[in-house]
Amino acid sequence: MAASGDKRQHPGRILQRMFMEPNHLGVNQLARALKVPPNRISAILNGQRSITADTALRLARFFETTALYWMNLQARHDLEVSEQVLREEIETSISTLKDHKTTPLDDSPLENEAEG
């Protein structure tokens, strides 16, 4: 995981730096190889589009990786961004299960009380 304060890397940056640049691939070349529109690759590289399952499968085949590699990059990025945006709100508005052991989640009686 990126250290606190680091700029989160979109999977498109990893695609570009670790796969396209070392192999001297341009957007159009990769798009043709994957049989997708060039604007899909451009949007991924610019961080404007997520890597979908379809694209992950295509990238995995072409670069001889796994689709899970690409999906994990995207999921990790999405989670880091969401955590950065939502962490404070969630911590202040969502209680824990431990809190509800003494206070039921709704008006129904606790399980022990219902049996007695």
Q: What digits encode the pLDDT tens for the residues 51-64?
A: 999 999 999 999 99
Residue 34: band (very low, low, confident or very high) from pLDDT cuts 50, 70, 90: very high
Structural domain spans, the chain:
11-95
What mean pLDDT is predicted for residues 24-52?
98
Give phi and psi for 98, each to the nearest 5: -55, -40
Q: pTM of the full predicted structure?
A: 0.76
Ramachandran area for residue 5 (φ above 0: left; ψ -120 to 50: alpha; else beta): left
Give phi and psi for 65, each to the nearest 5: -115, -155
Question: Domain 11-95, CATH 3.60.20.10 — does that match?
Answer: no
Range name among 8-12, 78-82, 112-116 with the lowest pLDDT average: 112-116
Q: What digits encode the pLDDT tens for the residues 52-111?
A: 999 999 999 999 999 999 999 999 999 999 999 999 999 999 988 888 777 666 666 656
